[in-house]
Amino acid sequence: MENNSQPRRTFLRYLGGSALGLAGLGLARSLEASGLPGHPARFYKKLSQKRVDCQLCPKRCRVDDTERGFCGTRENHGGEYRSLVYGKACAMNVDPIEKKPLFHFFPGSLTFSIATAGCNMDCKACQNWQISQSRPEQVRAYDLPPNQVVRAAQQVGSKIISYTYTEPVVFLEYVIDTARAAKKQGLRNCMITGGSIEVAPLKEAVQVLDAIKVDLKSFREDTYVRMCKGQLKPVLRTLETVKAMGRWLEIVYLVIPTLNDSEAEIRDMCRWIKRNLGPDVPVHLTRFYPEYQLKHLPPTPYSTLKRSHEIAQAEGLHYAYVGNLPNMGGEDTICPKCKKHVVERRGFGVLRNQLKAGKCPTCHAQIPGVWS
């Protein structure tokens, strides 16, 4: 999950200078949010005694009347499940697409990025825990219905909208409606997710998305439980589903010292990716910095990242990158056939893109991705 350090002010600066202005873009009154009926949620089943079975994610929360599920963004009102975050953006920013990171999807583009409060996991390393681990009424949010998201993206000149920062799965109805509206206007849509979602809602979302980046937190089931209050298997299922549906897919693996950084685990993951998704899915091995519940751990050592990168390459992954460590040189796209550096990057910037219609300029090998 990428860092969201300066969302609102930047956004307002963009909008402030535009013809759109701020009419109709009001601060959602967060104190009243819990009292509002919200927006009808989807992906649930009614049970007896006004309970509901949330079928959005593998947690499958059974939610009593007046209560919320694990994500805290959906509330049961007498057997009617309501989303409290639909149209309530708590973070907005214009980011380089490389920040997501998506390296094989319109490199060098800017993407209009939004988030609401909430997450269906609780990762100990979360960079955005102040919004992802809060309930909707605890964060300042803007009323920003789907059509206004699209207009705002157009106003700032972005052709891509990203659903990101927290966990788009918990605001999936908002994602789907916004992405649909964006598509009609010729915009692209990306979802940056932990991938913990049931198949039916995932498939519906993927229909309107163009690219998906999945944070794979670990390749061990017990680590998933311990580190994220999540499960590994459903995330692997998500990866396979997205791939099978033909949407552009990239994977991030945050390498955390002592928790998920063993050579065996990284090798197992790379083998699984190659076997089940193919060697062309980009895998970003990113550096951990102490955050949230893991402030006691050191940043990932350079040597660990280097070794992880070597393992990924040795296992046959064509596009293994090293992230959050700009000077290591692990951010360039290298043609697997002739080894030419076809896209050179530093940090979130593209220094040089030599691809010609998605092909290596030297050997003409096709580099997979969505380039134009």
Partner 1 sequence: MKHLAGTTEARAALAQWIRPLDTVGLKVNCLAGRQLSSHPELVEELVGLLEKIGLSRQQAIVFDRADNDLHRGGFSIRTAGKDYRCLGNDRAGYDPELTVMQSGASRFSRIATQQASVLINLPILKDHGLAGISGALKNNFGLVHNPNKYHLNGCDPHVAEVNAEPVVQKKQRLIICDALRIQVDGGPAYHPAAAETFGGLIFATDPVALDVIAWELLDKLRKQRKLPTLIADKRHPVHILSAAQKGLGVGERRYIELVSVTVS
Residues that bind partner 1 (CB under 8 A): 30-32, 34-35, 49-51, 59, 61-62, 64-72, 122, 124, 129, 133-135, 137-138, 229, 292-293
Q: How far is the CB of 137 from partner 1 (least distance, A)?
A: 5
Phi and psi of 228, rounded to 5°?
Answer: -130, -5
User: Residue 73 or 154: which CB sits closer to partner 1?
Assistant: 73
Angle between helices 172-184 and 199-208 (to 10 degrees): 20
User: Residue 44 or 70: which CB sits closer to partner 1?
Assistant: 70
User: Residue 32 or 222: which CB sits closer to partner 1?
Assistant: 32
Q: How far is the CB of 141 from partner 1 (least distance, A)?
A: 13
User: Residue 156 or 169: which CB sits closer to partner 1?
Assistant: 169
Tokens linked to 293: 């519940």
User: Residue 272 or 292: which CB sits closer to partner 1?
Assistant: 292
Q: How far apart are alpha carbons 107 and 314 in whole angstroms?
A: 26
Can you tell me which residue has the tokens 């519906």?
204
99 class by beta-carbon count within 10 Å (0-12 exposed, 13-18 middle, 19+ buried): buried
Q: How far is the CB of 83 from partner 1 (least distance, A)?
A: 14
User: Residue 129 or 321: which CB sits closer to partner 1?
Assistant: 129
Phi and psi of 301, rounded to 5°?
Answer: -65, 150
Q: Are strands 39-40 and 44-46 parallel, antiparallel or unpaired?
A: unpaired
Q: How far apart are alpha carbons 358 and 361 in whole angstroms?
A: 9
Q: How far is the CB of 131 from partner 1 (least distance, A)?
A: 12
Taking Cα atoms as reference points, which of 71, 86, 90 lies closest to residue 41? 86
Can you tell me which residue has the tokens 């499960």?
231
Q: How far is the CB of 292 from partner 1 (least distance, A)?
A: 7
Q: How far is the CB of 212 from partner 1 (least distance, A)?
A: 25
Q: How far is the CB of 71 from partner 1 (least distance, A)?
A: 7
- The helix/strand/coil state of 255 is strand
User: Residue 120 or 333: which CB sits closer to partner 1?
Assistant: 120
Tokens linked to 29: 């009154």
32 class by beta-carbon count within 10 Å (0-12 exposed, 13-18 middle, 19+ buried): exposed
User: Residue 56 or 61: which CB sits closer to partner 1?
Assistant: 61
Q: How far is the CB of 134 from partner 1 (least distance, A)?
A: 6
Q: How far apart are alpha carbons 32 and 44 in whole angstroms?
A: 25
Tokens linked to 259: 């928790």
Tokens linked to 248: 């552009």
